[in-house]
C-alpha cells in the first residue's frame, strides 16, 4: 500500500497491529533491491510504502536520512528500525516476534 500524508495516520498510527513501513525513493538502487524482499513478506504482514521524494514531511517526521529505511510500528509506535538492505528472514522474525508479544 502506498502512503501519503493524508492516510498515514489511519493506516499506520491508528492500526493496533504490526505495520512495516518502507521509506524509499525511485532513484535508490538498494530500495529497488528491497522490493523483492517486501513482496515476499506482503502475504504475511501489512506493508506500507512511503516515497520520500513526494512525502518529505513524513520522512522528516520519522528522521529518515538513509534509504531504504524500514520501520516496524506496533500500536502506532516505532518498535524497530532498519537502515539499508535488510534480509527477509530478519524482517520476518522481528515482525513475528513483535506481533506475538502484544
**Residue 32 in grid coordinates:** 529497488
Distance CA 102, CA 98 (A): 7
Q: CB atoms < 10 A from the CB of 57, how many?
A: 9
The residues annotated with a catalytic role in the active site are 28, 31
Residue whose entry in the numeric block shows the C-alpha cell 529497488: 32
Amino acid at each position: 500500500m502506498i502512503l501519503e500524508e493524508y492516510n498515514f495516520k489511519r493506516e499506520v498510527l491508528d492500526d493496533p497491529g504490526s505495520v512495516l513501513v518502507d521509506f524509499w525513493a525511485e532513484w535508490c538502487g538498494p530500495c529497488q533491491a528491497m522490493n523483492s524482499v517486501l513482496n515476499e513478506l506482503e502475504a504475511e504482514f501489512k506493508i506500507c510504502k512511503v516515497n520520500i521524494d513526494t512525502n518529505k514531511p513524513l520522512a522528516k517526521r520519522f528522521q529518515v536520512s538513509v534509504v531504504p529505511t524500514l520501520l516496524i510500528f506496533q500500536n502506532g509506535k516505532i518498535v524497530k528500525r532498519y537502515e539499508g538492505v535488510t534480509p527477509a528472514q530478519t524482517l520476518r522474525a522481528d515482525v513475528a516476534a513483535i506481533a506475538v508479544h502484544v
